[in-house]
Chain A
Amino acid sequence: MHFSRAALLASLAVSATAQTVEARFEDARNWATYDGDNTGRRYRELDQITPANVKRLTVQWAFQYQPAISRSLATPLAQDGIVYISGGGSTAYAIDGRTGRTVWRYDYPFAGSDEDRKRDWNRGVALSGNRLFLATIDCHVVALDRRNGALLWRSKINIEQPCLGSTAAPFVVKNLVLIGNSGGDTGLVRGFVDAFDTETGERSWRLYTVPKPGEKGSETWGDNDAWKGGGAATWTTGSYDPDLDLLYWPTGNPGPKDFDGRDRPGDNLYTASVLAIRPDTGELVWHFQFTPHDEHDWDANETPVLVDADWQGKPRKLLLHADRNGFFYVLDRATGKFLQGTPFAKQTWAKGLTAEGRPVLIPEAAPAREGPIVCPDIHGGTNWQSPAFNPATRLFYLIARDGCGRYYQTGYSIDYELGEAQQYLRALDIQTGKLRWEIPFLGDESQEINHAGAMTTSGGLVFFSSREGNFMAADAKTGELLWGFNTGGNIRASPMTYEAGGKQYVAVATKAGIFAFGLFD
């Protein structure tokens, strides 16, 4: 291939002003990691499907899990026309992305009980070159050859702790595959990120998200063993900036008891935070804690979304994060400096945020024996369901929940009651945090927690789902609801898009399997 010097320079200029997208994710036809690329934006440059023609979107193929699973939280991946998905932590599939035909299936030989299998769900697989990675139901990572499903290696995730699941989709950075843990509400685990060599499966490093006594940050815990069950679990997937060479990984709520922080006085670092990690070493470079000393189960496991934008007149590398605590945060992702925080959902627990981004608490919102009513409710202003950012509209899309509930401090880790709630797809202006538009979920879907996320395209659409199985598209600019399809069953996963055989598909996992849509032609 021949490029003129001018054309090459022009393309460099574009990529310099564009997102910090790694070369391996530049081919828009693929969706090769959980969030589509390393930035967590869930945005792809595919524009066959537009607001003008989306009414012609029809099912092109469907795929059903066999054996059936109790739920799927997975985002399918697509590479060179093949779609890859997990069936919980015990199965991986390669699927013909044009017809839905299974190409191969890998069954992890898991000897657990049917009860274990009922809890067998995760958020999908990861790819690197010809390797595919699955976090298994019994807390291992396996590497498979993506061409034929043959096992390459199997490594145990953190043998020092009980296995309470690793439900995130693994994430690949350079030569490492990264995975964390679940179980932060049990009082039995301490969060961590494990990094394995993609070639050999050997563990390269582990970063605990709760420091042990004597380590930096341990002064934010009491003088007892609470840190051992301190939570800060890492049950969702991070993002990565190759220019800064920083990996961003969010953490969950503190423990041992979610609603009762009396045995863990202090801020409880690094719970309910985002961590910036040097991927080669596992060194913690900076952290930002959204909810110090959380007592409401407000995990910060929502995606860290990396966006380059002008901020108050100057280009800046931003990290956007809509937290379960109801605030939308803008951080400088080079330093972790707090830039702005604005509520995007109904909240009654903080008077506001200080200049450093620390919440100014309303004391009456702390959990208590009589169960004060606090907003957001336990499900949070949003949750792990993926948000999306579209560079053309400059809008941040997310599932938001205006809900309030009672938080009882009765000796249990979690003891709550839900009140009324109303859920929305919301579009936020990232410069101001202000609501640009919203689409309410109606009927039964207005309140029942929606764990299905969003995705957006250069075609000018945002795709999202409802609790009861409607897969929908709205105009990314105006929020006009344009199209919907009832999949007939629960959706708890976030959608993706890819191209195969010259055709754009959008796909979402349901409890049953995958539905893939394309334009009728």
Chain B
Amino acid sequence: MIRALPLLLFAVSLAAAENPLARDAAAVAAGRATFLERCAVCHGQDAKGGQAANLTRARAVAGGTDQGLFRIIREGFPGTAMPPQTDLNDDGVWQLVSYLHSLARPGEQPPVEGDATAGAKLFRDRGCISCHIVDGQGGFWGPGLDSIASRKRTEEIRADILDPGAVVDEGYRRVAVRTKDGRRIEGLLKNEDTFSLQVLTRDGSYALLERPQIASVEKLEGSPMPKPAAFTSEELQNLLAFLDRQRDPYLSFERGFNNY
């Protein structure tokens, strides 16, 4: 009993290890209000920095633990102008954590509104599934989307859908290679280095090429993904809601551009 008591007190003073209000829309809104009132003067109205750090990119926000950020807010940052917020209760601090994480972390925004079931149907009917794998179904030409919502913010996903050619992920850029023996190979540039190229062709096989065999490499403009036929805003919202549910953490595809 004597040994247990101080431990118990210690646990209480640290609050919860994980944010109980994570991805909670009301908490994010409340956190934003608190932020504008107390923090924006130094960190900027959009949290992108001013006199103090850009919190949409700061390491303690984008990385770090929930509890670590809680403590920085509650206790301040010693040696800087960042004051402690001792008069905010735990919920108030967690609301700030929810808001800041929603800005800095792709997977931490509140659930996107919309009819995810209708979005799933759209994903199939509009042919998205012919190139993108979700839940084990789909084609290989585009990136798998099981964990898209933990990798990209909804605004980015929206932009990717409406203008696929604006930003194309590495590994999915189109390329046309002409070899010295007269072949023309078109496909996706999966990887390349100073000496070699690996091009995935539409039939699912790889053309493995070495620079000395190659006459020219043309990096083609635009995305292999076609611009979609017009969506109604409701359809788009439903599709975004469906993609927002794709949070499978077991998809972690990484392209080895650095010879990983």
Contact = CB atoms under 8 A, between A and B. Distances in A.
Contact of A150 (B200, B249, B251, B260): B251
A104 B252 CA distance: 11
Contacts of A101: 191-193, 196, 198, 256, 259
Interface in A250-298: none
A65 to B, nearest CB: 9
B10 interface: no
6 contacts: A106-B252, A145-B140, A148-B253, A149-B253, A151-B248, A151-B250
Contacts of A80: 205-206
Mostly, the B contact residues are loop
Nearest to B253: A149
A99 B190 contact: no
A431 to B, nearest CB: 43
Nearest to B200: A147
A432 interface: no
Interface string B134-154: 001000100110100000000
Interface in B171-205: 171, 190-193, 195-196, 198, 200, 204-205
Interface string B229-260: 00000000000000000001111111110011
Contact of A148 (B144, B205, B249, B252): B144
B260 A108 contact: no
A519 interface: no
B159 interface: no
B190 A98 contact: no
A151 B251 contact: yes
A78 to B, nearest CB: 12
B133 A96 contact: no
Contacts of B190: 103-104, 148
A102 interface: yes
A102 B191 contact: yes
A385 B195 CA distance: 35
For chain B, give the interface size range.
Answer: 20 to 34
Contact of B250 (A82, A97, A154): A154
B206 A103 contact: yes
A81 to B, nearest CB: 5
B210 interface: yes
A96 B260 contact: no
* 4 shortest interchain CB distances as A-B pairs: A150-B144, A102-B256, A99-B196, A151-B251
B250 A150 contact: no
B14 interface: no
Contact of A103 (B136, B140, B198, B252): B198
Given A105-B256, A107-B252, A152 B136 contact: yes
A22 to B, nearest CB: 21
B88 interface: no
Nearest to B196: A99
Given A104-B190, A109-B250, A150-B133, A93 B140 contact: no
A366 B210 CA distance: 60
B41 interface: no
B204 A99 contact: no
A109 B249 contact: yes
Interface string A132-171: 0000000000110101111111100000000000000000
A354 interface: no
Contact of B198 (A96, A145, A200): A96
A200 B260 contact: no
A97 B143 CA distance: 23
A66 B254 CA distance: 12
A105 B254 contact: yes
B29 interface: no
A27 B103 CA distance: 53
A213 interface: no
Contacts of A200: 136
A501 interface: yes
Nearest to B133: A150
Most buried by B among A80, A142, A150, A154: A150
A143 B205 CA distance: 18
Contact of B143 (A66, A150, A152): A150
A433 B11 CA distance: 68
A449 B215 CA distance: 51
Interface in A101-132: 101-109, 130
Most buried by A among B133, B140, B250: B250
B177 to A, nearest CB: 14
A150 B253 contact: yes
A108 B253 CA distance: 9
Contacts of B210: 98-99
B208 interface: yes
B196 A104 contact: no
A104 B255 CA distance: 5
Given A101-B256, A501-B208, 20 more contacts: A80-B205, A82-B208, A98-B196, A98-B210, A99-B208, A99-B210, A101-B192, A101-B196, A102-B191, A103-B190, A103-B206, A107-B254, A130-B204, A143-B136, A145-B144, A147-B140, A151-B136, A151-B248, A152-B133, A200-B136
A201 interface: yes
B3 to A, nearest CB: 26
Contact of B252 (A82, A96, A109, A130): A109
Contacts of A105: 253-256, 260
Nearest to A106: B253
A145 B138 CA distance: 10
A500 interface: yes
Contacts of A153: 136
A321 B256 CA distance: 40
Nearest to B258: A66
B140 A150 contact: yes
Interface string B206-222: 10101000000000000
A151 B146 contact: yes
A99 B251 contact: no
A141 to B, nearest CB: 12
A500 B260 contact: no
A499 to B, nearest CB: 12
Given A103-B256, A150-B140, A96 B248 contact: no
A147 B171 CA distance: 11
Contacts of A130: 140, 204
A106 to B, nearest CB: 6
Contacts of B260: 66, 102, 105
B113 to A, nearest CB: 27
A102 B258 CA distance: 9
